Structure 1
């Protein structure tokens, strides 16, 4: 929290000087006594010094010893390690939920300490508060629910959302993650239980992008569920009706977006885990009106594109050779279509023309061609003409194994949500790839829905592959001192930087150019040596550094495309005069970091 008296800056240098001399100041609170202790944002537990205990009416309400922030941190970590030891040998499901519970209890009690723990242990805790454990949490959310977090707008609130939005206590919100629960990861329709996804995503925004947790808002848009099991579950917390469709559905989302924009016109809204038809519909409906993006379409596409560009480098060729890649994409949902759209845009940028790349799209009916009579409009642009596939010995509806054997792709990319679809036969067929180092991307979440495991990929496709997955897998010991590296192609590498960069730029919209810049920045982050060893993505331990660079690339693209309006004291003119290094530093300086601020009571 910062308290700085500011006036309009006269130059970029002056902006830099004032930002670098910002002094952390006290936080004014309007609560006293037990109300402070029950508020996770202000609560410091035993960390309140005696001066604060006196002025906030806390003396006698806490044990007399004052424990430092560092001591509290170590105490929690000791409890966590003890939990790990005590649950050794139990099922993965029970252990994962136990870890989530202990973190969630800290989140409910002391947010500052929670985020410090999360930031410092991001590699270990991201799989607990985010994928894959978040899927398990969503499946069991009604039974796990203890206290509300975020906001719930339902079909029964139609006509009331403009007033409801003012029930949220924060005066300023910068980042909103919204879901309707219709397609949670690869688990399908989980209705109101999908709220776990926005909560987990925003925890990653705080940890990776330094978004102030007081200025984030997880939102569940409950328009019913078609999951009969949930409708019959006495513990289910959502409205008990089938999902709204058509204009009824859109009118609810319209009303919510208008309400958000009315109160917080600069907020960035991320759509998350909407079923395919509504994912594309809402993206096209709002992307030119609000500062929003869909992470399943655009975030997944960006991370995949970064991996695909890295795969070209790993195969010993320059990135400019990407237009010649033969890529088979399995899964024609929002993620698969999103990847293909961004890949086609990348090819167009590299060639300067409307080249038809060798990308092959497969859904549950097989290879999608122009001969298909009933084709989804989103997939239609990627349907192959008969003449182009006949030279590979293929036809409409060719199976996955037929396509792999016929095309001999450089890359096999899965976003199908079907666990094990890259079976032994398919993986062995990749040995005949036209690349000496074929790439296999099994990107579906959660882990049970991955197209194959890392061990299966290296066992059947051979040691000389590049492997990436959406869920975490361990590296594979190949013997003779060799390691098969696992790249977790997770959206956490991109969406925090896209959101933070858009916010810092004060972007009116999030453009394709901004998203391309983010993906290309991530692709160029790795060194040639790392790429040659099959490492396409950086360690999650450097997520804040990655996010600052991605965010800076987004800012510079927003300025170049003239959609940046500036943020706080820095306007678009000042942003345009910053060098790349200055932009990265500016993005870093806009990151929140968890420390206890002095509290001052004001009535």
Structure 2
């Protein structure tokens, strides 16, 4: 394990108002020779200094020249650029997987260099380790599998999880990302192959939030799969059985959550890509008992809310005008409902009481109203009454084009998972919006599931729109020197800061107030000049600073709500008396950065 010569807690003891970035001290290893070279935690490849080679039994096992960390970084990037040049003209999927493989090989060999490469080149590599390539990796995971990462708990392990959790070698775990593989992005049930999502998310946690990579844990909860293609695939690595349902399913998740928090009571668990019924059920079941959140419901909602608030600013209106925004949401899954719930909370806060926002929710059967039979309980609060839509000439099950034409929304927001559902007719109808600068959010992932492309949005809906997508698209050349800005409404702007803020504050739970603080902080990060150019989200290049600011907002919200218990020797009283600037400094000082530590052998 890394040992830090100084820590935030030590700094606080010396001065309660000054923090400095931790400097890595010597790291004790219990290995020598080739065993060190085969351990990615300790391996430095050709960067081992001569004195270290002597004391660790490495002399002769490496080429004689010592290469600096910076030179190693540059050499890898040259290999990566060479790969880009040599794969030009090949299909996008082939190129993306080739890039993923070269990064994965580095991850397998040298963890410290891997994370340095990610942090220094996050704009290049975020689409490879995360959206959209991670979806392709999950689809092909059984064939790509080379070595295990994380842990796998299955339905066959019932009754054994409390002992199994101790098989993980790390004594401390701060952040866990958990999936059951039931709804991977917009790709559906991928079973055990969904482990690629927690792995990718946690790499983002390290790169963006500075979570120590020795304290992260990706976990797959394999309760079977209903994907017949996978069940028939001889390479499939998961359980060959239908998914558990009902109490059988919940008993497995219950046992897992109890086991995790028995060993690591302060670990934060992020639920990821659970099908809707279990996403909402598990969130309500655990959120008041454990420090956990669901990124699809709450993270997506926060990023969307930040974009919606930015849209109001882009329209030249005060933020309080958000209560008057007409928003059409296409997709009544966990993400769509999460956005509406958080948006409704924001409206309620603005009006200081019960709100009746102008939200219209559609699913595959059209507009959802109270007239619908067997309406999902989670969608019921957003179902329109006959009185609310009669004047618009709408009725139960009205189509998307009907709703857009009659409502003339300020915002059209897609979380449907249906690629191209915002077709030419729908986009042209948005030109009749009551807003001078309507917004189109095509937020479904991966790219093939996006409701529309950026090019089509600007072509058919007009140049005045504000556009955001879940997957990355290039800015659109509108001619005459004008640019249609593409905003990537990506969860990576928010979930790392939520996790970091909860961690450094020692929050008992993650509250709605903490999530609202995160969304509002992201919304306020953009300058007025950028907003007027149609930019709603900051550059991914500044993701560490964004995350530090959001982490600070979350930490301070936890303190204000008396949910913070402190971390290490930074207790709730110290947190309470910190100014905002001091909290930012404390949060930044808690972020890990990859530097080679001197290795000292101990038997």
TM range (shorter): over 0.9
Shift in CA distance, 310/12, structure 1 to aligned 2, threshold 3 Å = farther
Deviations 1:145-178 (A, max 9, x none): 0000000000001111111111111111000000
1:7 positional shift: 11
* Contact map agreement 2:8 2:589 (CA 8 A) in 1: no
Find the counterpart in structure 2 of residue 166 from structure 1.
Answer: 166
Find the counterpart in structure 1 of residue 237 from structure 2.
Answer: 237
Summarize the alignment of residues 435-514 of structure 1 with structure 2, pairs less than 5 Å apart.
435-514=435-514
1:541 positional shift: 0.2
* Contact map agreement 1:408 1:434 (CA 8 A) in 2: yes
Q: 1:191 and 1:6 mapped to 2: Cα distance?
A: 40
Establish whether residue 375 from structure 1 lines up as the match of residue 375 from structure 2.
yes
Q: 1:278 and 1:329 mapped to 2: Cα distance?
A: 21
Q: 2:283 and 2:69 mapped to 1: Cα distance?
A: 43
**SS in structure 1 opposite 2:547?**
helix
Shift in CA distance, 486/21, structure 1 to aligned 2, threshold 3 Å = closer
**SS in structure 2 opposite 1:230?**
helix
Name which of structure 1's ranges 55-64 and 233-242 shifts more when overlaid on structure 2: 55-64
Find the counterpart in structure 2 of residue 3 from structure 1.
Answer: 4
**SS in structure 1 opposite 2:219?**
strand
**SS in structure 2 opposite 1:177?**
strand
Deviations 1:292-323 (A, max 9, x none): 00000000000000000000000110111100
Establish whether residue 226 from structure 1 lines up as the match of residue 226 from structure 2.
yes
Q: 1:24 and 1:285 mapped to 2: Cα distance?
A: 40
Q: 1:37 and 1:272 mapped to 2: Cα distance?
A: 34
Find the counterpart in structure 1 of residue 275 from structure 2.
Answer: 275
Q: 1:7 and 1:232 mapped to 2: Cα distance?
A: 52
**SS in structure 2 opposite 1:15?**
coil
* Contact map agreement 2:8 2:590 (CA 8 A) in 1: no
1:261 positional shift: 0.1
> Which consecutive segments of 4 or more residues in structure 1 shift more than 4 A?
4-13
Q: 1:187 and 1:440 mapped to 2: Cα distance?
A: 22
Find the counterpart in structure 2 of residue 14 from structure 1.
Answer: 15
1:15 positional shift: 3.0
Deviations 1:437-467 (A, max 9, x none): 0000000000000000000000000000000
**SS in structure 1 opposite 2:404?**
helix
Find the counterpart in structure 1 of residue 360 from structure 2.
Answer: 360
Find the counterpart in structure 1 of residue 211 from structure 2.
Answer: 211
Find the counterpart in structure 1 of residue 320 from structure 2.
Answer: 320
* Contact map agreement 1:9 1:15 (CA 8 A) in 2: no
1:12 positional shift: 8.5
**SS in structure 2 opposite 1:556?**
helix
Q: 1:404 and 1:7 mapped to 2: Cα distance?
A: 53
1:22 positional shift: 4.8
1:16 positional shift: 3.7
Establish whether residue 392 from structure 1 lines up as the match of residue 395 from structure 2.
no
Q: 1:12 and 1:350 mapped to 2: Cα distance?
A: 41
Summarize the alignment of residues 274-313 of structure 1 with structure 2, pairs less than 5 Å apart.
274-313=274-313
Establish whether residue 343 from structure 1 lines up as the match of residue 372 from structure 2.
no
Structure 1: any 5+ residue segments left out of the alignment? none
Find the counterpart in structure 1 of residue 125 from structure 2.
Answer: 125
Summarize the alignment of residues 404-443 of structure 1 with structure 2, pairs less than 5 Å apart.
404-443=404-443
* Contact map agreement 1:312 1:321 (CA 8 A) in 2: yes
Shift in CA distance, 60/467, structure 1 to aligned 2, threshold 3 Å = same
1:6 positional shift: 8.0
1:65 positional shift: 1.2
> How many residues matched?
602
Summarize the alignment of residues 244-255 of structure 1 with structure 2, pairs less than 5 Å apart.
244-255=244-255
1:9 positional shift: 7.9
Name which of structure 1's ranges 259-268 and 577-586 shifts more when overlaid on structure 2: 577-586
* Contact map agreement 2:11 2:20 (CA 8 A) in 1: no
Shift in CA distance, 9/129, structure 1 to aligned 2, threshold 3 Å = closer
**SS in structure 1 opposite 2:376?**
coil
* Contact map agreement 1:15 1:570 (CA 8 A) in 2: no
1:31 positional shift: 1.2
1:398 positional shift: 0.5
- Kindly report the root-mean-square deviation, in angstroms, between the aligned alpha carbons of the 2 structures: 1.3
Shift in CA distance, 348/568, structure 1 to aligned 2, threshold 3 Å = same
1:10 positional shift: 11
Q: 1:477 and 1:43 mapped to 2: Cα distance?
A: 46
Q: 1:5 and 1:319 mapped to 2: Cα distance?
A: 43
Establish whether residue 558 from structure 1 lines up as the match of residue 558 from structure 2.
yes
**SS in structure 2 opposite 1:73?**
helix
Structure 2: any 5+ residue segments left out of the alignment? none
Q: 2:326 and 2:70 mapped to 1: Cα distance?
A: 52
Q: 2:177 and 2:24 mapped to 1: Cα distance?
A: 28
Find the counterpart in structure 2 of residue 540 from structure 1.
Answer: 540
Q: 1:248 and 1:29 mapped to 2: Cα distance?
A: 43
TM-score normalised per structure 2: 0.98
* Contact map agreement 1:12 1:574 (CA 8 A) in 2: no
TM-score normalised per structure 1: 0.98
1:3 positional shift: 3.1
Find the counterpart in structure 2 of residue 88 from structure 1.
Answer: 88
